[in-house]
Amino acid sequence: MSTEEKNSNSGEEVKSDPIDDAIKNLIESMIKIQDKYVEVKKGTPHWSVCLSKFQTSYLKAKNPEGFVEMFQQFHNSFRKQYCIEIFVKDKNDELEVNDDFFRDDTEFTIAYKAKKTTESKKKSFASKPSLKGPIIYFSTTEEKLSSVCLPLGEVYRVAIKLYDDMEKKNEDDAEIRILPSQLLFSFYNVIRKTNGELCRGIDLIKTNIEILEETISALSEENDDESDNKNGPFSIIGDIVSKLSGGKNPLIPGGSSVGKMVNDIVGENGGELKTVYDNFIGGIADIAKPDANGKNPEMSTVIGGITGVLNNPSTVQAFEKIQNKVSNLAGDSSLAPPSVASTVSDASEQE
């Protein structure tokens, strides 16, 4: 979402550039990881000089469009490696984080490493630290600019290491807890904004953005006594996915049936959204009970009872959450569950 800021000269509200916002958010997420590393490890990560050069160059240029090409080139080179489901099920049908690309600690020499030339002995290049894993270079041809980059893999591995070390000490730091998710979210978001809505892999990019946003929100609210599992900083993802999906793909609802989609969301693993299921089933069971003489209630009584159940404040609130999540996930409001009003209207017509 784009933000609005005041024009200091005219006092008018001006919409900020979504590309600028996305790039700045990616830089900020990396700086947060760097700062937390300095705080915890009492040292500076070797890749800080590259991040600093990139941030300085970007802010001085004041030209977001001038940095779009670097992200487009990165996407063209590596999209097949990260345009994947970020959360998948293993052979035991358990969710795991599909982040091998970001964890890669080998030296990336294919397609996107700055070319070495006779200028490699110059100080500008010699001072560049050795980086491993995926790197988003500003330029892949001008060697003197090879240190102006975003060391994506290096930063992500530090975020994971900070989390693992925190776990080993049996501590909890809310900031460390969400660092990996924030970085992945910012990365996918900047790829989306700079490559456009028609770029290859856009559906998976958008889905990963949505699920990562949910992950960040859930992890931010997670208590110290939350369950611990192999997903580490993504431990909450099992609960999130159970709310959002029900098919073989843990990120996308299985099938196109609205009924099945709703059932998947509010079923026994539906978490807080199970409220609507419990209220509805429990309420209908009470309404449909035969009276003392064994006589079933009139249809008008049943419909009146259904209306009361559906208009229950807790049901309405939960139902709205379902509609929002399904609508966002599907990207098509027509696939969202029917509104309370239309549900009651349909039942009345069938009376």
What is the C-alpha separation between 247 and 9, in angstroms, rounded? 53
Which residues lie closer than 8 Å to 309 by C-beta, 6 or more apart?
279, 280, 283, 284, 287, 315
The reported pLDDT for the residue numbered 295 is: 72
CA distances from 249 to 88, 90, 182, 241 (A): 7, 12, 23, 10
Give SS3 for 5.
Answer: strand
Q: Could you tell me whether strands 13-15 and 87-89 are parallel, antiparallel, or unpaired per DSSP bridges?
A: unpaired
Neighbouring C-beta atoms of residue 25, cutoff 10 Å: 17
The reported pLDDT for the residue numbered 326 is: 57
Q: Give ∠ CA 64-66-72 in degrees, rounded to 5.
A: 95
Whole-model pTM? 0.62
Average pLDDT, the chain: 75
The reported pLDDT for the residue numbered 43 is: 93
Do the Cβ atoms of 230 and 96 come closer than 8 Å? yes
CA distances from 66 to 54, 60, 112, 339, 348 (A): 13, 12, 18, 45, 59
What is the C-alpha separation between 226 and 303, in angstroms, rounded? 41
What is the C-alpha separation between 147 and 93, in angstroms, rounded? 42
The reported pLDDT for the residue numbered 252 is: 32
Percent of the chain with pLDDT over 90: 42
The amino acid that residue 346 corresponds to is: D
Task: Decide: residue 162, CB within 10 A, 0-12 exposed, 13-18 middle, 19+ buried.
Answer: buried
Tokens of 82: 């990260």
Point out the residues of the chain with pLDDT beneath 50.
1-5, 8, 110-126, 223-228, 243-259, 262, 266-269, 271-272, 332-351
The reported pLDDT for the residue numbered 183 is: 97
* DSSP per position, 196-207: -TTSTTHHHHHH
What pLDDT digit, counting tens, does each position of 184-208 carry?
999 999 999 999 999 999 999 999 9
The reported pLDDT for the residue numbered 71 is: 97
- Read off the DSSP letter of residue 4: E
What pLDDT digit, counting tens, does each position of 94-128 carry?
788 999 999 999 987 534 444 444 444 444 444 56
What is the C-alpha separation between 140 and 133, in angstroms, rounded? 15
User: How many CA atoms within 13 Å lie on the side-chain side of 294?
Assistant: 0
Do the Cβ atoms of 299 and 307 come closer than 8 Å? no
> Can you give the three-state secondary structure of 216-243, one letter per residue?
HHHHHHCCCCCCCCCCHHHCCHHHHHHH
The reported pLDDT for the residue numbered 219 is: 84
Q: What is the dihedral of CA 46, 52, 58, 60, to 10 degrees?
A: -150
Neighbouring C-beta atoms of residue 111, cutoff 10 Å: 11
Taking the CA atoms of the chain, what radius of gyration do you get in angstroms?
Answer: 25
What pLDDT digit, counting tens, does each position of 222-256 carry?
544 444 455 667 765 655 555 444 433 333 333 33
Task: Decide: residue 116, CB within 10 A, 0-12 exposed, 13-18 middle, 19+ buried.
Answer: exposed
